[in-house]
Structure 1
């Protein structure tokens, strides 16, 4: 399947919002990355190409196989084709400057290669309210997320987004990052897992 746009949810874990001193939104906070942001997860991350602090944010990724427009939860569930893992790479200094000026985040979030994406495992048989994932940096646990801690569960996010714009087959929805985000440095190795061992992927920063 050809991948299209990436729809992202910001501040969907309360502890992550708190670690960046951000208020918790009343409704899902959506932003987008273009298809050019997508690269294979295993591809090295070129930290040195950026003149800003490049942060990792691991997220569950949802691949859609059917269009969604003004959908309900049943339609949203039927539209999910697979579950994967993605990094929402963020130029944190740039993002902070944009936020301070009241500007959109795309310059910090939507640059080429800003969304390393894994392969997807079939969604059939997975309990979307009981998914767990982790990120290790150089063998040390950095992030540990569970869908039960999402402020807006996966199906609620899909329903909400579909009320405002059409979601198409091949679209990917990133569902928010848990606490523990931080800067990447050349030489770092990142290992991401969708537990229990549904998926394991690794990349490195150069």
Structure 2
């Protein structure tokens, strides 16, 4: 069967810069790991489930690159910051073993999982999916990618400051699920492909942002992420 020509163009995800490369990283899918730091789970009133990771998704068109201004999102009065390590997948994998999982990583970046917390809470209270709270334009912010050959997750510090005041601090030693465990587990349910991103969870200290705020996210060894919150559209 032949495929018809498209009726119109649709938005596509931006290509993420890669440090040291002239070509960028095209994005296929965005997976996010929930409650992967015990202190964050506790601050949100949730028990830590250590039986298996769980996930939600963001649309690739929700990506926003480093240095951008994010308009305050519509439909919310309680948008929160969540600083995260992001894994960029660079090779196909299905049911990959933990001891081989890191071999498919192309690189790593600093990310922000922006969340319409009020809408997420309504969904949680009603037992509904989190899509409205998690998946919107500008909800997945990301720095340039550092290739895996130049960065290995270990005990690094992860932190976020808002207007120069540190709000979130953690270390990778606080992660409930390691990079290898997350990749291996996720690959049981999806054929992972080059272009997939995995946002790996946030430490405690999440909180609201307002128009005019400047957010600076840092992970030792990766490009610093800086964005500004603009007025609502």
TM-score, L = length of structure 2: 0.84
Residues 93-143 of structure 1: CA deviation (Å, up to 9, x unaligned): 000000011111011101122101111111114332323221111111111
Distance 1:144 1:199 in 2: 17
Give me the CA root mean square deviation.
1.3
Mapped pair 1:118 → 2:143:
yes
Distance 1:130 1:64 in 2: 21
Task: Point out where structure 1 has 5 or more consecutive residues left out of the alignment.
Answer: none
Give 1:1-206 correspondences, 5 Å limit. 1-25=25-49, 26-47=51-72, 49-196=74-221, 198-206=222-230
User: Does the 8 Å contact 2:111/2:225 carry over to 1?
Assistant: no
- Per the alignment, in what secondary structure is the counterpart of residue 176 of structure 1? coil
User: Does the 8 Å contact 2:157/2:172 carry over to 1?
Assistant: yes
Distance 1:69 1:129 in 2: 25
1:174 deviation in Å?
Answer: 0.6
- Per the alignment, in what secondary structure is the counterpart of residue 132 of structure 2? helix
Distance 2:140 2:114 in 1: 6
Compare CA radii of gyration and give the structure with the larger one: 2
Distance 2:75 2:38 in 1: 29
